[in-house]
């Protein structure tokens, strides 16, 4: 009277039914909310020059300032990260030397005064500078951005 229990239960776990959930939605919502982050941080002393970075353009709030302490207030209104480089030069804004990569300005050949490496989309960053009288060019030096039109001029005059 043996009733050997030969039942064997096998749970075949099928691992082929993995679902990958991709949250494309989150990225879109994030981009929409970013402009709300454009707030003004406490300022260092100096004349404030507002600059707006766009794809692919740089707007300056003023074409000229008097030499001395200047605070560059850089608002990246574009949907992408940009850079903000300041050089002192008499070259045309669209005539800066291009490096061997053919995509960016060769900053080593220029008198670089200051720079913000990365200005995230939708944020404001500040760059305090002491500007002697002269002519200055701003540009974004991420690959192709300068050639795409991201440059502007600021004239700095002697004080009265
Ligand atoms: Cu850029």
Cα separation, 58 vs 41, whole angstroms:
21
Ligand 1 centroid distance, CA of 65 (Å): 24
First to last CA, the chain: 116
33 within some domain: no
- Kindly state whether residue 4 falls inside one of the protein's structural domains: no
- Report yes or no on 11 lying in a domain: no
CA 90/CA 32 separation, integer angstroms: 39
Judge whether 53 and 119 are in contact, CB under 8 Å: yes
Instruction: Indicate the pLDDT class of residue 20, thresholds 50, 70 and 90.
Output: very low
Model confidence pLDDT, tens digit, residues 83-116: 999 999 999 999 999 999 999 999 999 999 999 9
| CA atoms 110, 116, 119, 125: torsion sign | negative
Tell me the residue range of the domain where 150 lies: 44-157
Say how many Å lie between the CA of residue 156 and the centre of ligand 1.
24
What does the pLDDT read at residue 124? Answer: 98
Single pTM value for the model: 0.73
The total number of structural domains in the chain stands at 1
For the chain, state the CA radius of gyration. Answer: 27
The Å distance, Cα 54 to ligand 1 centre, comes to 8
Higher pLDDT, residue 5 or 46:
46
- Establish if 66 belongs to a structural domain: yes
Residue 57 lies in a domain: yes
Task: Collect residues with CB below 5 Å from ion ligand 1.
Answer: 82, 140, 142, 145
> CB 110: neighbour CB atoms within 10 A?
18
CATH of residue 152's domain is 2.60.40.420
Give the separation between CA 20 and CA 55, rounded to whole angstroms.
33
Ligand 1 centroid to Cα of residue 132, in Å, is 26
* CA 81 to centroid of ligand 1, rounded, Å: 7
Centre of ligand 1 from the C-alpha of residue 120, in Å: 10
Asked if the structure places residue 35 within a domain, the reply is: no
């Amino acid at each position: 009277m043996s009733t050997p229990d030969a039942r064997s239960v096998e749970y075949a776990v099928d691992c082929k039914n993995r679902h990958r959930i991709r949250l494309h939605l989150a990225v879109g919502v994030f981009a929409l909310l970013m402009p709300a982050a454009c707030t003004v941080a406490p300022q260092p002393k100096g004349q404030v020059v507002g600059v707006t970075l766009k794809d692919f353009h740089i707007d300056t709030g003023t074409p000229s300032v008097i030499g001395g302490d200047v605070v560059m207030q850089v608002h990246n209104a574009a949907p992408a990260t940009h850079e903000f480089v300041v050089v002192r030069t008499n070259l045309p804004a669209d005539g800066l030397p291009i490096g061997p990569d053919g995509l960016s300005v060769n900053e080593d050949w220029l008198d670089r005064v200051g720079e913000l490496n990365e200005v995230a989309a939708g944020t404001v960053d500040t760059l305090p500078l002491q500007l002697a009288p002269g002519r200055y060019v701003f540009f974004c030096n991420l690959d192709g951005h300068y050639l795409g039109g991201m440059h502007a001029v600021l004239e700095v005059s002697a004080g009265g």
